[in-house]
Every structure is written in structure tokens, then in C-alpha cells.
Structure 1
Amino acid sequence: MRLSEFSVPDTLAARGALALAEQYQSEAITAHALRSWVWAEAFALVDGITGIDHELLYVAAVLHDIGTVTEFDNHTLSYEHAGGHVAIALAAGAGWESERRERALEVIVRHNWPRVDPAIDAEGYLLEIATGLDISGARPDALPREFVRDVLDAYPRGALAAEFGACVVDQAERKPDTAARRLVDGGVLEKLAANPLEAR
């Protein structure tokens, strides 16, 4: 498995998602988003999941945390719902049909579920386990070491632990009925600090 095996979709929506991420998110959060996309694609191979909508997966991965930034934060919606609506707006501008736009929202929202059934939502499952690896260190040995090293070299973690930790604590405090509260109560700060990817 090599990083070069995974190609960014050459589409209007994919380019737009990356442009939004780079304009509004920090380098560390955007690198996290891009690693999450690569991990998701890699887990599809490892877990034998086929029939993936690769453009949808890329857009959802790149925008899955954009609801944490000031410009897209929503005082009533969870950050994953807010980010999902950003994805809907982007996808509408790119000409996606209504059902596919809604899928972008679903995938982003489900990345914060404790578990997603791949038989029901393959892309949601892949983003959930990918972010689980990048944030909490879940399944750290599921992917080849050399591949993991190359991904971390291409998209360095930087200040992710501090930045994402601060974001999710802020979200949990202001929106205690959202998934952010569950993440904080579940020890996400400690998991970020102990993530074996931090040591690589």
C-alpha cells in the first residue's frame, strides 16, 4: 500500500472542499482532514469495502470539522451538523443531486457516532474509523507502518492535539447535548495525547 495509490478526485466539489478547508481551517486541522481521507481510503482496502463514492468520501473527510471554525459555527447545531450543511451548500454549487448532497451531511454527522454499520453507510463507516485512528489512536496497527509513516510525512500532525482538544472542549461547553460532550466525557483529550501517531 502506497500513498500515491490514492488520487484526489479531480472534480469541482473536491477542489472547492479543499479551498474552503485551506481558507478557514488551521494547517493542523486541514492536515487532519486530509489524513482522515487517506486513512478512510486505506481502510476500505484493508476491510474489503467496495462500491465507495470516492468523491463523496473526499468532500466529507475534508469538511468534517469545518463546523468548529468561527465562520461556520452554529450556536444551536453540533459542529458535525454545521459542517454537514457547509458540505450540502458546496455540493449544491457543484451540481450534485439532492440525495447525494444529503449523503454528504449524513457521512459527516456519522463520523462522530460511536459505531457506523458499513452495510448501511460505507462512507460513514470509513470516515468514522479513519477519524478514530487520527484522533483517538484506534486500530493503530491495521495499516502498514511504512504507509503510515509516509502519510504522516505528507500531512504532519503539528498542533492537532492542542487545537482539536480546545475546539471540542469549547463545543462541549457551549452545546452540552451534542456529540462533543460525549467525546470529552469519553476522554478524547487523553486519547489525543496518548495517540501512538503522535510519537511517529
Structure 2
Amino acid sequence: MFPETPAAVAALSVATRFCSPALFNHCVRSYLWGAVYGTAHGIAFDDELFYVSALLHDIGLTEAFDSHRLPFEEAGGQLAWVCGVAAGWPAGRAARVTEIIMLHMREDVSPAGDPESHLLQVASSWEVVGRHPEEFSPDARAEILARYPRLGFGAEFLACFEDQARRKPDSAAAASVRNDVAGRIAANPLEGRPTA
């Protein structure tokens, strides 16, 4: 079901080791939501590239990889580059994973121009703030949340963003805090599910 290439295995190992259980499950769900959305909309995408990007897109929020100077998405993108190159990717492919992770915090990217970035934006915004709930059926929600429960993800993620905002006031995370990410997280329909 998941890619099993050297880069994918490396990304899974890094995410498993350094992410909290709630953050890890969020990263896996982001991959799954993106794949569901991409399939439903006939968006062709590079599965390995998207998987590595999804698993590592928030690694810059972890204690081990939180940069004092860089926004979390930039720090995470750079680590993903290292994982890709170490797994044998050419530098250009590794640069793509950096770009996808950095773009997930930017304005919408079109699926035609950059399908992997588009899928990560759609999936992560659904995960965090419940954007576009009509795209994800009750059956898909129930299946994915049963396998990868939220485990208090909303509160943990909000605390990470508030911490980023205090230390990095010019970051996209800080802009999200100023734009009421707390209220949007609380209103997310996924937050109403049991966190088992």
C-alpha cells in the first residue's frame, strides 16, 4: 500500500523515530487523504515523491529538527532533501521534495502545474483546519481515522504553531496563528471524532 523504495523507507524511519504519535499519524493521514483526493480527481502524481513529502512535511516542528532561524517547512524540506540524496535520488529529485514541503504552507498550487504540492496542500489543510470536507466521504474518514487516529493532534499542532509564531513572527505559521488557526482547528469536523 505504501511505497517501499529506499527513500520511502528512510522517510518512514525518520518520521517514526522523531515525530510524536499524533504528528506521525497526521503525516500518514496526509498521504492517505492526498492519495484519495488525487484518485477521485484523476490527478496523476509521483507516489514516492508525494509519500516522502507527506511523511516529512512537518518534521521541522519536532524538537530534533526545529530550526532557530528557518520556518519549519523550510527546515523540514532541507531534511527531506538529505533523506532523498542519501537514498540515492539525484539532486534535482531531492530539490522537488524540498519544494513540495515548502509549498504546502503557501497559496494554492494548481494540480496541473505541480500535482504533488497540490495534493499535500489539500490533504494538510483538510487535516488541520477541515478545509473542503465535501472531498472526503464519511467512509474514507472512518477507515483512515480508525487506522491512524488523531490522538489529540489538533491541540498538539496548535501548540507547535503558537511556539513557532512566538519565535518566528514572520513565518507562515505565525500568519496562520494571526488568522485564527486556533478557531479553525476547533471547528474542523475531524476534531469531533474520538481520539482513541
Q: TM-score, normalised to structure 2's length?
A: 0.96
Q: 1:124 aligns with which of 104, 117, 128?
A: 117
Distance in 2, matches of 1:153 and 1:136, equals 19
Distance in 1, matches of 2:112 and 2:142, equals 30
**Residue 62 of structure 1 aligns with which residue?**
55
**Residue 29 of structure 2 aligns with which residue?**
35
Distance in 1, matches of 2:131 and 2:61, equals 22
Q: Which runs of 5+ in 1 are unaligned?
A: 1-6
The amino acid across from 1:29 in the alignment is L
The amino acid across from 2:130 in the alignment is G
- Counterparts in 2 of 1:6-155, with a 5 A limit? 7-50=1-44, 52-155=45-148
The amino acid across from 2:16 in the alignment is E
Identity %: 41
The amino acid across from 1:164 in the alignment is F
Counterpart check, 1:198 vs 2:185:
no
Q: Work out the number of aligned pairs and report it.
A: 193
The amino acid across from 1:136 in the alignment is V
State the SS of the aligned residue for 2:135.
Answer: coil
**Residue 4 of structure 1 aligns with which residue?**
none
Displacement, 1:90?
0.4
Distance in 1, matches of 2:161 and 2:192, equals 22
The amino acid across from 2:65 in the alignment is F
Displacement, 1:121?
1.0
Q: 2:169 aligns with which of 171, 176, 200?
A: 176
Residues 103-136 of structure 1: per-residue CA shift (max 9 Å, x gap) = 0000001111131122221100000000010001
Instruction: Tell me, yes or no, if the aligned pair for 1:46 and 1:143 is still in contact at 8 Å.
Output: no
